[in-house]
Structures are given as structure tokens and as C-alpha cells.
Amino acid sequence: MKIYVEGVGLLGPGLNGWHFSLSCLTANEAYVSAPTELKASELLPAAERRRTGVPVKLSLAVGQEAFANAQRDPATTATVFSSSGGDGDNLHHICETLAVAELEVSPTRFHNSVHNAAAGYWSIATHSQEPSTSLCCYDASFSSGLLESTTQIVVDGIPVALIAYDHPYPEPLHAVRHIGGNFGVALVLTPNVTEHTFAALDVSLVANIDCPTPMTDPALETLRASIPAARALPLLAALARKSQEVVFLEYVAGNYLRVAVQPC
């Protein structure tokens, strides 16, 4: 299935934006890890901004950057949101509340705990009423989001923005489900070449692959392996290099996504 890339957004440890990260993704500079620079989105009204957690901040930051790079209106574009665990902070606090005698869950925490909370805030921020899908698939969440986006683009002939994010759980959940940092990535994808297209992707499902494509930089490979959304890094590196190449992204049940990248 062939689709096209118009814009990328990226935010993670030491990766403060797509253009800022190009030099380390192309190995022209050494990757240096640093805490993810999270900010509340100015796209949201002040009342909504105060209620947002890390997943919403990640999603809005990378989504806004990807659409700015694509020069496309987010209000007229369908979205797919993908995360392995959603808002772990809210899950932790709700579990704490349910473990005490007074079972009073904050309404704000409750509505932020649903898996499509980030999609809801995105709709408020961008005034979009376009279709939106929120999914999770454990460590294969980015690949699942890319496969779902690709299918919608090919079947319905519409542009789709894929927004994937993950963040660490607090303890004690962190001890049993380790996620290595705050990471978000967004791709604005289209069914046809436009004046802002910079790469084509040919996506297919394959089996019998020994392992996913690793990152050549050991620190970036550690990042890729420790955060489900960061499984996107080999694809982002191929897009950054602007070269024709093939990457394999892990999916489920021994299957992989084969993504052939062709610069446009």
C-alpha cells in the first residue's frame, strides 16, 4: 500500500523537534539524551490547558509541528492516535483512590483516563470534526497506528495524521511495565503526491524476519527498544537521510511491517 509523507513532528529525550533532530538521526552529530521538553499547548483554552497530562502535551506538540511542516489544515484531516498505555499518571492516581475507603475519583482524572483523551483534546485544539481512531497494541502500537493510517488512506482516499505517544508509568507500575521516557511522533500522510510531499512509503505486512531494523547509534537503539512509540525511529532516520531504503518495524505474532522509503 503506497502513501505519501508531507510532514513530521517529533519530541522525545534529546529530540526537541523534527528539524532539530535531523543531524543526529542522520548520524552527522552524536545523539545526546536529555529530558523531553514538555510544554502545555497554546492551542487549548486556558481552562483545558490546566487539565492536560503528559500524553496530551506530547500529542499536541508533535501534531502541531507535523501539520506546520506539512502546511496542511488539521481541522480538515482525519487522525489516528496510538499509544501502548495511554495516560499512566491518571491510571496510577485512580488506582490509588480505589485502594482507600473513600472511593471519590476526580471527574477530571476520570475523563482524562480514557484512551481517546488525547484525540478529544486534539479536536478541541484544532476544531476538527474529522474521523478519529484511538488504538493500542502494546509494543507494536506505532506499527498498528501506521497500518491503520495506511489502510484508511488507501481505502478512503483521504489524508490521515498518525500521532503516537508513550510516557513512563509512576511506581509501582513502572517496575512491571518499564517505558524509557516521554516520546511522541506525528506523520501527516496523504493518498497522493502534493506540493509538500517529501517521501513515499510502500507499506506491507511480512513474516520470517529475524529482527526489526535497529538504530546504528547505540543510545538511539536503547531509546527505540525502551519506548513503544520510539519504534518509529528507524523510519524517521530513513526519512531524515532522504535516501531510498527499506526498514522493518515489529508488529505482532512474529509479523513485521516492511516500509520502503522513496524520497520525492
* pLDDT tens profile 45-57: 888 888 888 999 9
- Hey, what's the cell of 20? 532539530
Cα–Cα distance list, 218 to 33, 169, 215, 263 (Å): 11, 24, 7, 26
Query: Per CATH, which fold does 2-196 belong to?
Result: Peroxisomal Thiolase; Chain A, domain 1 (3.40.47)
The CA-based dihedral angle spanning residues 245, 249, 255, 260, taken in that order and rounded to the nearest 10 degrees: -20
Could you tell me the residue ranges of all domains in the chain?
2-196
Please tell me the pTM assigned to this model.
Answer: 0.95
* pLDDT tens profile 78-134: 999 999 988 888 889 888 888 887 778 788 888 888 899 999 999 999 999 999 999
217 C-beta neighbours (distance < 10 Å), count = 17
* pLDDT tens profile 122-181: 999 999 999 999 999 999 999 999 999 999 999 999 999 999 999 999 999 999 999 999
Nearest-angstrom CA–CA distance, 251 and 248: 9
Mean pLDDT of 177-195: 97
